């Protein structure tokens, strides 16, 4: 299992959905950063189950305890371990899962790979694992803020209801102004109605989250294999339920010609260079070019549904799985802080990598 | 710069487009694999410039020399270094690039990051760097074949001309049967016509490549951050000119409900488990489930065009760049072997990682 | 800070001596290994302060809690997080350390590197950090046992009192038969007397620990940079207070000629190959050769002494540091399980790496 | 096989002793460093066979070709590949090695691990592999020089002939003033006589190399597992024929008490902090403290001897190996630049890692 990501800002998550708890160790966080449990809690609360009527009603306070790496309210430069104890474990909801593989879940694949599986809940494959990511992302965000970078994600589309707004006009306040985290209030109302409707049917829906990183200076990202967009793609596809990633013009850009697609450079009177369009999504050759970094992530409809489905038993016999228990009819509202967290982890890692490069001519004296 | 990828099958490319040559070191290749220069050449020839009338006419034989790691026709288990000397260097074609940044190229970003740049050709950002990837991929393919895995990519769409064929029916022979590498012969003819037309205009087009990996057993891929789809996404977005990645149902799957999208399991009389649909694209929870692995990659239209464009100088003054020289009006025909190579590198790495896990109960005696 | 070690069996420790606790995350532990808190506690108890009259009298129960990665008494293949809460924190003992750098401690270097430091106790530089290593090592030992490998370390020398016994005759029972962990009972008595004597003087002593790994089959270790002895050397020099490492004949072997030093191979009637001597220490070319792996580690005398010493303040003014509080007059008795743990971590990582190589010709079906 | 080392300054060597050549790829070298083949050649010449009458008479010019990463005489920030073609291959000298394992060589272990082996010469286990290390080290040295760090190694002892000089008085000129690379001219003469004598007997000798790194500022090195001394230990034990490593007081320091061993801090009138002794060897808690870094490495007597030895065949039958061909009766004179190279690789990597940390409060604008 690979539960770590990052080169200099190295994040390792741990924990199963129905074990003692979930958490994260962050190694490589710079010292002297002010950090309190509240800094982390605010992001965990955005991810928390039970936060609104359109998400799962599982009750978890998701209270963060900082076990290490912070002294007198500031980071030490040593590993920061954050633990969130599990609270609301109704394992009986999951008894059927011991014997039957849930369609489009990871149960079957885990059994094939490991020969074992924590069957109550999704175990390690549960979205609960993302608690650690969001906690680490909260720290990454603080570092990024200190150098003028802000990461904002929002729900762009739920099934076929799409926000009618430019990503470049979306503010964090607009995102948090409604429970579906869509900055277009009219679309938000429709999305909420849709999600409530599919929940009543025991069904689920997916959609698209868009994310913009503001203020990233030119020069972040490592050419060839750790290109900025490559690391973002990996980070996004590592989030449960994701099926696609596109940066800048994305798949739609493939319908343009080169002359239409190219981003022309222009210099202002002060010599500052920008591009007149941003089909590149702020990244060229794997390196940020100073324009906003912009990408989208596709989330499939939640695999957990409250309806009967054909499947097989762990003994490989055909059977029917009954839908019951609690579920997220749509993961996107809770996935917004996860997308922001993963983007922040990638960015802060490349920020630190670039520091090593850009400052090499200065002695450490 | 990060020019390495992989955990156990570790690939490092090197070389600029206009230096002495390009190449690759593969560390972690298992021993006793039969390997000849011809095994590598066949894949390099699929990537080679000048291979047909719809690609760049730059003349390079791209002859592979194996410098290490092979003895008596078999791999030793030691690093394999493969070198391809550069031959056709017409640096004068590029003299304008010394002073002017090409729109949607990496020139500006490299200068911002490194404070320097190999201006003749794209230097390290040139697609010529992919020679090393394709050479390494040829070896990965041989290992995969030995365990029954086959990777097949093809051109699915050029701008708005789309192949009318299921990816699951595409054979390598069909892909190689025409110069655009599209298995739908009718669409292929149209694509070729389109590419020739945009070239005459000095313009360019992009499109989508689809790839299927057959025969991957259940169990490959590492949950959480090195999910199989996450590593594939990173590998694909590390290829020059890519703007998007989607696996299985991808972005289109976000319009379905959970009940429509879920892949029901079914067991045959021998207890073999498959799914009735494959919206998961062969991967669940980051782990292969035994179904074909299927994904698509978006390629933007080539940034190099033979027309005047507005841009800035290296002194950040506005100017006009004249289009001249040789270019690929469409990179997709040559990108097919690159997609296959990168997919193979990811798969063979996860194959080796899974060996460490699946065989742990056997003593090494 | 780099708090992780290992390629496939990846260990990350966290925690400061006077924070909430210390612990470890192990990622890459194979699934289906029986594991209970007791398996870990038995090793932690060997490292625990207050275990005898010759070690520090700080009282800590060092109780291990397994937070993740284990289900129904067996490992899942997911990250195992183990937490040990800190209990006995008398920070007032350390108030002087806030303002004065202790000689031969890490205080000054940490301040220079990070610009901050957890001054109560050694913070991250405290030997308390090794709790996580020993916990992870307990798991590594269980895996190694399952493939017939046993790791045994013992105190070979305290200052100038040396055990008169061949390392190859030392059993775990002999090591645990006295509080100094020296298998030569006569020397052990002298060592204990010496340690008690230097403690009364407020002084400290060091010495040498020797370690043997039995049953390692030929073939573990990765040539060139991750040679088995290189990884062992790194692991040992990462233990606090170590100053040297030697394998096989070590420094003494440099006085021999090649003809004296070479280990001649000999085959028995069954074709089993051994060497008549073992100056190689069980490793040739970085790879185990099937003979016992044997190495020694030098530990300096404890830096903490109960006597006045000249030093500087954090404002870089000369001052005198008073010795007070509790200390280990000799770290070696408690370091024996740490050496075994670190050796086991290195060996199990190479075991898993070799599995990926040795079994490659088998399909995963 | 693990042929890579380093986190940010990442070095990968390749090549067998009797293949096409040997070389190295350096990824992560900062841009804008002046670099010519001559910079590398000067170090390769110090390692070259045939350089004097006391080393092997194998004739190799060891001419370095820079294949990539350098443009207009300066580094680009992209991977630097350096190739040295093999020239003097007298494989017949080695025909016996195809069937018989040389005592204390890697032949047997390689066969056990890989099931194959490049039997002419040592293949990958040959000291010829260190060509790549020395080439990379030459670049590392140039970077270190630019920040005021100088690395000097010398032969301290050959068998029982020891230089009578403090390491802190040794200059590069003194080291290069004789063919054995011992700065004590009187001892050097005796060493040369000894080496010539053992060569005539077909025998070999080992000894100790000492190394000092001057000018390393306080703050380099990563606590816990990548401690500076831990990474140095690994780097040294990765050099062929090494059996031990000690830093500062080393094994001898274990005979002192804490009060004798502790390095007291003292501040001068300008507030500059040093220590009155340097038993720490310039490293405390894994971090440099501003004092000279000092360590020693044990080299065993060369395994290749020109005398008959008992051994086994590849079929595991007892036999006798005849000594013939060319050999180094003592590797230490040629190992001096290798020790310097490996030390430099470790230091430059930690320098870059520290840059990322120390400069984080500066924006990249």
Mean of pLDDT values over C108-118: 94
Euclidean distance between CA atoms A258 and A272, whole angstroms: 25
Interface test with D, best of A271, A356, A361 (most D CBs within 10 A): A356
Return the pLDDT at A250. 98
Other beta carbons within 10 angstroms of residue B97's beta carbon come to 22
Return the pLDDT at C332. 98
CATH number at residue C254: 3.60.150.10
Return the pLDDT at A175. 98
**Residues B324/B306, Cβ–Cβ less than 8 Å:** yes
Domain that holds residue C130: 4-364
Q: What is the pTM of this model?
A: 0.97
pLDDT in tens, C44-58: 999 999 999 999 888
Closest CA to A7 of D222, C359, C26: D222
Return the pLDDT at C357. 85
pLDDT beyond 90 at D90: no
The single residue listed with the structure tokens 């901050």 is: C116
* CB contacts, 8 Å: B146 with chain C: 361
Interface test with D, best of B67, B124, B132 (most D CBs within 10 A): B67
Euclidean distance between CA atoms C181 and C192, whole angstroms: 10
Return the pLDDT at C92. 65
Chain C residues whose C-beta sits inside 8 Å of any chain A C-beta: 1-4, 10, 12-16, 19-23, 25, 27-28, 31-32, 65-71, 74, 76-81, 83, 113-118, 123-124
- Count of domains in chain C? 1
Return the pLDDT at A90. 64
Chain B residues whose C-beta sits inside 8 Å of any chain D C-beta: 1-4, 10, 12-16, 19-23, 25, 27-28, 31-32, 65-71, 74, 76-81, 83, 113-118, 123-124
The ranges of chain A with pLDDT < 70 are 89-93, 359-365
- Count of CB pairs separated by less than 8 Å, A with C: 150
The encoded tokens of residue A197 equal: 């409707």
Mean of pLDDT values over C307-324: 94
Query: How many angstroms separate the CA of residue B157 from the nearest CA in chain A?
Result: 9
Return the pLDDT at A92. 65
Return the pLDDT at A357. 84
The encoded tokens of residue C326 equal: 């509790």
Mean of pLDDT values over B19-44: 97
DSSP code per residue over D41-96: HHHHHHH-TTSSTTS--------EEE-SSEETTEE-SSPEEEEEE-----GGGGGG
Mean of pLDDT values over D291-317: 97
The subunits that touch chain D, with at least 3 C-beta pairs less than 8 Å apart, are A, B, C
pLDDT in tens, B122-168: 899 999 999 999 999 999 999 999 999 999 999 999 999 999 999 99
User: Mean pLDDT over all residues of chain B?
Assistant: 94
A352/D355 CB distance under 8 A: no
Give the chain B residue whose CA is nearest to the CA of C365: B217
Check the CA dihedral C318-C320-C325-C327 and report its sign: positive
The single residue listed with the structure tokens 């007149």 is: A276
User: Mean pLDDT over all residues of chain D?
Assistant: 94
A285/B4 CB distance under 8 A: no
Cβ neighbours for A144, distance < 8 A, ≥ 6 positions apart? A150, A151, A344, A347, A348, A351
Whether this model's ipTM surpasses 0.95 comes out as yes
| Mean pLDDT lowest among B153-167, B351-365, C143-157 | B351-365
Nearest by CB to C14, which of A68, A77, A123? A68
D78/B32 CB distance under 8 A: no
Closest CA to D176 of D299, D47, D61: D47
Return the pLDDT at B363. 37
Check the CA dihedral C272-C278-C284-C290 and report its sign: positive
A77/C16 CB distance under 8 A: no
The encoded tokens of residue A102 equal: 């849930």
Closest CA to C125 of C136, C139, C114, C135: C114
| Confidence band of B361 (pLDDT split at 50, 70, 90) | very low
Interface test with D, best of C265, C312, C335, C351 (most D CBs within 10 A): C265
pLDDT in tens, B190-247: 999 999 999 999 999 999 999 999 999 999 999 999 999 999 999 999 999 999 999 9
| Confidence band of B303 (pLDDT split at 50, 70, 90) | very high
DSSP code per residue over A166-186: -GGG--HHHHTTSTT--S-HH
Mean of pLDDT values over C122-129: 93
Nearest by CB to C104, which of D247, D251, D263? D263
Check the CA dihedral D3-D5-D10-D11 and report its sign: negative
C318/D266 CB distance under 8 A: yes
Return the pLDDT at C96. 86
Chain A residues whose C-beta sits inside 8 Å of any chain D C-beta: 7-8, 30-31, 77-78, 143, 146-148, 217, 219-220, 223, 351-365
pLDDT in tens, A224-266: 999 999 999 999 999 999 999 999 999 999 999 999 999 999 9
pLDDT in tens, B72-107: 999 999 999 999 999 976 666 678 889 999 999 999
């Amino acid at each position: 299992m690979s539960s770590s990501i990052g080169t200099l800002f190295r994040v390792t998550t741990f924990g199963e959905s129905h074990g003692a708890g979930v958490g994260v160790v962050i190694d490589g966080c710079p010292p002297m950063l002010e950090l309190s449990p509240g800094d982390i809690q605010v992001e965990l609360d955005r991810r928390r189950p039970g936060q609104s009527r359109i998400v799962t009603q599982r009750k978890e306070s998701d209270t963060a305890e900082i076990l290490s790496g912070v002294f007198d309210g500031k980071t030490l430069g040593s590993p920061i371990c954050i633990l969130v104890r599990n609270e609301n474990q109704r394992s009986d909801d999951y008894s059927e899962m011991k014997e039957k593989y849930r369609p489009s879940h990871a149960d079957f694949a885990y059994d094939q790979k490991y020969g074992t599986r924590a069957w109550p809940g999704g175990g390690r494959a549960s979205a609960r694992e993302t608690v650690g990511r969001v906690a680490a992302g909260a720290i990454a965000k603080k570092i990024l803020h200190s150098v003028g970078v802000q990461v904002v994600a929002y729900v762009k589309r739920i099934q076929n209801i799409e926000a009618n707004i430019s990503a470049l006009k979306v503010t964090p306040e607009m995102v948090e102004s409604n429970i579906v985290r869509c900055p277009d209030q009219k679309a938000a109302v429709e999305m909420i109605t849709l999600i409530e409707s599919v929940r009543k049917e025991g069904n689920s829906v997916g959609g698209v989250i868009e994310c913009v990183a503001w203020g990233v200076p030119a020069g972040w990202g490592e050419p060839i294999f750790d290109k900025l967009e490559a690391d973002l793609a990996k980070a996004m596809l590592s989030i449960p339920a994701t099926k696609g990633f596109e940066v800048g013009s994305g798949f739609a850009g493939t319908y343009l010609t080169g002359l239409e697609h190219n981003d022309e450079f222009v210099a202002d009177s002060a010599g500052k260079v920008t591009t007149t369009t941003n089909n590149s999504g702020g990244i060229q050759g794997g390196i940020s070019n100073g324009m906003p970094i912009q990408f989208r992530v596709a989330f499939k409809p939640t695999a957990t549904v409250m309806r009967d489905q054909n499947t097989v038993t762990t003994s490989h016999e055909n059977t029917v799985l009954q839908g019951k228990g609690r579920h997220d009819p749509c993961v996107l509202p809770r996935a917004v802080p996860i997308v922001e967290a993963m983007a922040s982890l990638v960015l802060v890692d490349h920020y630190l990598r670039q520091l090593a490069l850009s400052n090499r001519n200065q002695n450490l004296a």
